[in-house]
Structure 1
Amino acid sequence: MRHIVWDWNGTLFDDIDAVVKATNAVFEPYGLGAYDADGFRAVYTRPIWTAYERMLGRPLADGEWERMDAGFHDHYHRLMLECGLAADALSTLQAWEREGGRQSLLSMWWHERLTAKVAEYGIERHFTRVDGLLHTVPGGHKAESMVSHLAALGVDPADVLVIGDSVDDAHAAQHVGARAVLYTGGMTSRADLKATGLPVVDTLTDALDYA
């Protein structure tokens, strides 16, 4: 494996606290009790509107997803200011670079915000390409974005390892014929990650063992 495609939210960027608090803020008007991280992981899935329906116990009404998603991001973009990179994110990026490997970043977060945040941490030089959402509705699946990302890079999927925190990252890797390792620091429960049959790690450093 000579190329790593990193996920951002919940992987390189340790934002689980902001995600849970923003979600609780969105659901407060519905009278639902607050989730902690493990409780949130138990109901989390993608597409995210499916998780919201699971949490409410009913289908979303017309326009309800859009309102909830806008509210979530309003809260998230405030709360994320308290978050930072995963503890071993920088050292892992540097270690893979020393190994002579290439790496890129693919996120389902808004592209402009993603590139600004990556630049803020001074880590953009580690990536040959950084892609976030441009025009697609947020909250959906990553597979087609992965197709476009690898095509733009011009890399063979057989030479790619995807490192992410969700089952959706696993599906995106499988969709293009890449390998994947899944990290427990994000929004998905260990049980759901293990159920994919893919390797599951507790640190980003350990993920490099599969590269």
Structure 2
Amino acid sequence: MKHIIWDWNGTLFHDIDAVVGATNEVFRPYGLAAFDADGFRAAYTRPIWVAYERMLGRPLNEGEWERLDAAFHDHYHRLMLTCALAEDALGCLRTWTDSGRTQSLLSMWAHDRLVAKAAELGIDEFFARIDGLGSATSPGGGKAEHMVAHIAALRMDPADILVVGDSLDDAHAAQHVGATAVLYTGGMTSRADLTASGFPIVESLSHVLDYAG
């Protein structure tokens, strides 16, 4: 492999506690019992509104998704301040850069916040490109079309690219463009779902490079 495309939330950025905490705050008015990390992972999927429908046990009403998503991000942006990079993330980024190969960051989080957080954590220098969602893009959807645009901007052959993420959506986006995927168990998706997917999985980001050649 010549290039790694990293996912952010739940992959490089270990924010599962903030995600679960924000989700619990959002659904507190609904009277739902609080989720722990495993309970959240059992319900999690993309698009996110499908996960919310699973949690509620019913379809969302008109305009409800937008209200829930806005409330989630209000809580998340407060709770994420205590989160840090995943264990081994910095070492992986350094090792891959030192090998003379390139890497980039593709996230479904807001672009401006993503760029600022990567700079704050001192890792922006590792990436040939950083792409998050623009203000005109609806959040919560799938990643495939964004993967297409990201790789087009990189001007690379997808066959030379390893995609690292924590969700099946990351793997399906890689599959969509013809890239290779490996999935990390420390994020939002349950280990059972990751295992059942048939994609390679790693318990630690330090093992990602074993799949990069």
Map 1:1-211 → 2, pairs under 5 A: 1-134=1-134, 135-211=136-212
Distance 1:178 1:195 in 2: 20
Aligned length: 211
Deviation string, structure 1 residues 105-132 (Cα, Å, up to 9, x no partner): 0000000000000000111110000000
The letter for the 1-side match of 2:205 is: L
Alpha-carbon shift at residue 136 of structure 1 (Å): 1.2
Whether the 8 Å CA contact 1:170–1:196 is kept in 2: the answer is no
Structure 2 residue matching 1:45: 3-state secondary structure: coil
Distance 1:48 1:99 in 2: 36
Alpha-carbon shift at residue 2 of structure 1 (Å): 0.8
Deviation string, structure 1 residues 146-178 (Cα, Å, up to 9, x no partner): 000000000100000000000000000000000
Structure 1 residue matching 2:197: 3-state secondary structure: coil
Distance 2:124 2:56 in 1: 39
Structure 2 residue matching 1:185: 3-state secondary structure: coil
Distance 1:163 1:84 in 2: 18
Alpha-carbon shift at residue 98 of structure 1 (Å): 1.4
Alpha-carbon shift at residue 55 of structure 1 (Å): 0.5
Could you tell me the percent identity over the aligned residues?
73
CA RMSD of aligned residues (A): 0.5
TM-score, structure 2 length as denominator? Answer: 0.98
Deviation string, structure 1 residues 58-82 (Cα, Å, up to 9, x no partner): 0000000000000000000000001
Segments of 4+ moved more than 2 angstroms: none
Distance 1:195 1:114 in 2: 30
